Structure 1
Amino acid sequence: MVWQDIFLSRMFPKDKLILAISKVFNVDKRKVKFIKDIEEITQTDGAGVVCQTYKHNTDYPLRLSFYIIDEDLVPKEDQAAVKLLSRELECDILMSDNSVNPFTMLHISCDGNVEQISVDIEKYDDFEEFYLE
């Protein structure tokens, strides 16, 4: 199941992301997997949460695309889960505001503040697949 695409305000090493994601989803670190290409999702035996990463040349350089394999791990409240991730990583995050307007997103700061903001979505069209080693 596709869960969320989120944009982080800075880059992180893979081990730090795994630790934070495991806390957010309350799952063992070994159940968090990163993939290079979406086709690899079929090769993630035992994973509960799978992330694909992208690098953007914006103020939010790291995009995480989340795929939840174990449906029991789907958060009851998406925003609360992303707030926790923001706090764990001590960074700001952009996430969908679930509106029909493609030019607005939610800005979540690590102190828990949430604000709907306008974004130049075309900036985020320029990206490259990026695998965290």
Structure 2
Amino acid sequence: MFDIKADTILIKGNLEGLIPSDTKILCQTFIACTEFPLRITVYIRDANLVPVDDVSILIKISELLQSEMLFSDNSVNPYTMLKISADHTIKKVPIDIDKYDNCEEVEI
């Protein structure tokens, strides 16, 4: 998908410590008590790798993980996101934050 060597991708639970200078893609992961429990934040550290069409990359990641996924709709409304379904359809979905009152991990 990015056509880079696997050793230039770093996946970490937290970003403490040194990050090798040759890291091109940095992924931060953590588990949340939500409907979509795995959260991955991707930092692209090489300007040449920034996709023109990030949605097609997200569809491909969803395909590889065989999973639905939520991602930012880039709106000012923190209570909506976009959802990629298994059939690759994308639709705006509301986030019911009250549902996750007891989840410290949920941030808006």
- TM-score w.r.t. the length of structure 2 is 0.84
1:100 to 76, 81, 91: 76
**What residue number does 1:61 align with?**
37
**What residue number does 1:14 align with?**
none
In the alignment, is residue 127 of structure 1 matched against residue 100 of structure 2?
no
Letter in 1 for 2:88: G
Q: CA deviation at 1:28?
A: 1.8
Secondary structure class of the residue paired with 1:79: helix
- TM-score w.r.t. the length of structure 1 is 0.69
Computing the radius of gyration from Cα coordinates, the structure with the larger value is 2
2:65 to 89, 92, 99: 89
Map residues 1-133 of structure 1 onto 2, 5 A cutoff.
23=1, 25-40=2-17, 42-121=18-97, 123=100, 126-127=104-105
Moved more, 115-124 or 52-61: 115-124
Q: CA deviation at 1:59?
A: 1.3
Aligned length: 104
Secondary structure class of the residue paired with 1:83: helix
Identity of aligned residues (%): 33
Cα deviation digits, residues 25-54 of structure 1 (max 9, x gap): 2222111101232243x4223211001111
> What stretches of structure 1 of length at least 5 have no aligned partner?
1-22, 129-133
Q: In the aligned structure 1, how far is the partner of 2:94 from the partner of 2:51?
A: 26
Cα distance 1:39–1:95, how it changes in 2: closer, same or farther (>3 A)? Answer: same
Q: In the aligned structure 2, how far is the partner of 1:39 from the partner of 1:95?
A: 24
Q: In the aligned structure 1, how far is the partner of 2:68 from the partner of 2:13?
A: 24
Q: In the aligned structure 1, how far is the partner of 2:62 from the partner of 2:29?
A: 17
Q: In the aligned structure 1, how far is the partner of 2:94 from the partner of 2:15?
A: 29
Tell me if the contact between 1:52 and 1:66 (Cα under 8 Å) persists in the aligned partners.
yes
Structure possessing the higher relative contact order (Cα contacts under 8 Å, 6 or more residues apart): 1
Tell me if the contact between 2:13 and 2:30 (Cα under 8 Å) persists in the aligned partners.
no
